[in-house]
Chain A
Amino acid sequence: MCLAVPIQILEIDKNGMARGIMQGVEVAFSTELLDNPAAGMYAIVHAGVAIELLDEAEARKTIACIEEALGSGPVQKLP
């Protein structure tokens, strides 16, 4: 459904409200639904609430796969 974007956590207060940053924009959101969130991690935020933490290892793996795929052979431009 859902417009949710990865935002890097800057700090979290004692009530679980976090301040995060995404390319120059500061966003406030709740981290109450996350397991052990910490500053530096990326939270996936929807409607002011973080619904999951980004799995950075998986993200890097996928990006590496893309880079490898592009490095290996010419790509035909489609008509």
Chain B
Amino acid sequence: MDLFKNFRNPAMARKVSAEILSCAGSRRISIMEVCGGQTHTIYKYRLRDLLPPTIRLVSGPGCPVCVTPVEYIDKALFLARNRRATVFTFGDLVRVPGTSMTLEQAHAEGADIQTVYSPLMALDYAKQHPEKEVVFLGIGFETTLPPALLTVRHACRDGVKNYSLLLSAKRVPPVLAALLSCQKHALDGFITPGHVTAIIGTAAYDSLCETYSVPMVTGGFEPLDLLFAIRRLVALICQGRHDNENEYRRVPKRQGNSKALALIDDLCEPVDAVLRGLGLIPQAGYALRDSYSRYDADKRFAIQVTSREPQGCICGLILAGLSTPPECPLFRNICTPGTPVGACMVSSEGTCNAAFLYDE
């Protein structure tokens, strides 16, 4: 069973595209996806070219690198430079600008910053080097949170004393609520993120659909997965329905992953959180509970930073789907993938980065 090729069939894409066109007609529709991985697929396969121009596909704040506040990078830098901690991170965070520099630049100056594919490797390192303070930069939404939390559970279980997590985890449903409660939004429907939904369950979106009368369809990550989700959403929008459905049925379930949810509930509590460019959103983040404060880098170290957001950057408007990269005064002249100002330009899922690299 080929789980890639079957979902990249161009003949099927043309068929679905024709169905979308015949359903939507000339109706103007705006659909938002909130997942860096889905943004990436849309740009990689130019899926917008398979949709009529009357359907606007907007990339929302689903790129965890893009919504990480400047202050978080500054804290990570503080830990690496002032506290001489060995800092482990996912690769895409190392070029995000803090107030004065990036993690990559700090590494060039001698800070011990290492990239890993999994937080489990950071914990392994901590066990092998008990003389070092090891911190993992736990950014992400509900998909990436459980792997980070597993390291805390294991550290607890194995009595590891030199490991902690700098957590900056965000929650998708409150972010969607914040976007929907903003009067200016012109969104007709949402594609919900397939792997976040595998953790939290499709039922998590029921109340949003009801409260805001907007349909949501869970989508996967292959081009056909996204086209199926869009086709279903367009049908629901044209019928005036606000159902919550799943077009990625091979992975997320209605109730989500109970073990992952129990892990999250055990170790974390929801808190208000700042998303870069969007400001403070109620209950949009997670913090480690007090009983785990020895593994919480925020509490373990006396972190002191003064942070400043970059001037002129409109990442916030772009993340909310209210502006596009070409409308930013910095896009392409001051802000480029080599010299990013805002986080939307750093990550390959960032809307500005994708627009820069992939648009004519």
Contacts and interface: CB of A to CB of B under 8 A. Distances in A.
Interface of A: 1-4, 6, 29-30, 32-35, 42, 44, 46-49, 51-52, 54-56, 58-63, 66, 69-70, 75-78
Grouping DSSP codes into helix (H, G, I), strand (E, B) and loop, the A interface class, with mixed when no group exceeds half, is: mixed
Interface stretch (B76-84, B193-201, B324-332, B350-358): B193-201
Contacts of A76: 14, 18
Contacts of A47: 90, 117-119, 144, 147
14 contacts: A1-B63, A1-B144, A1-B193, A2-B141, A32-B150, A34-B259, A35-B258, A47-B147, A48-B121, A52-B257, A54-B3, A58-B249, A70-B12, A77-B14
Interface residues of B, number: 47
Given A1-B64, A33-B259, 4 more contacts: A32-B150, A49-B120, A52-B253, A77-B14
A75 B249 contact: no
A75 B19 CA distance: 11
A53 B290 CA distance: 32
A27 to B, nearest CB: 9
A78 B50 contact: yes
Contact of B37 (A2, A34, A54): A2
Quick one: which of A49, A70, A76, A78 has the most chain B CB within 10 A? Answer: A49
A60 B62 CA distance: 29
Contact of B143 (A34, A46, A58, A69): A46
Contact of B250 (A3, A62, A70, A75): A62
A51 B140 contact: no
B36 A1 contact: yes
A46 B147 contact: yes
Contact of A32 (B6, B119, B259): B259
Nearest to B260: A33
B251 interface: yes
Q: Which of B35, B195, B199 has the most CB of A within 10 A?
A: B195
Contacts of B6: 63, 66
B47 to A, nearest CB: 13
B14 A4 contact: no
A32 to B, nearest CB: 6
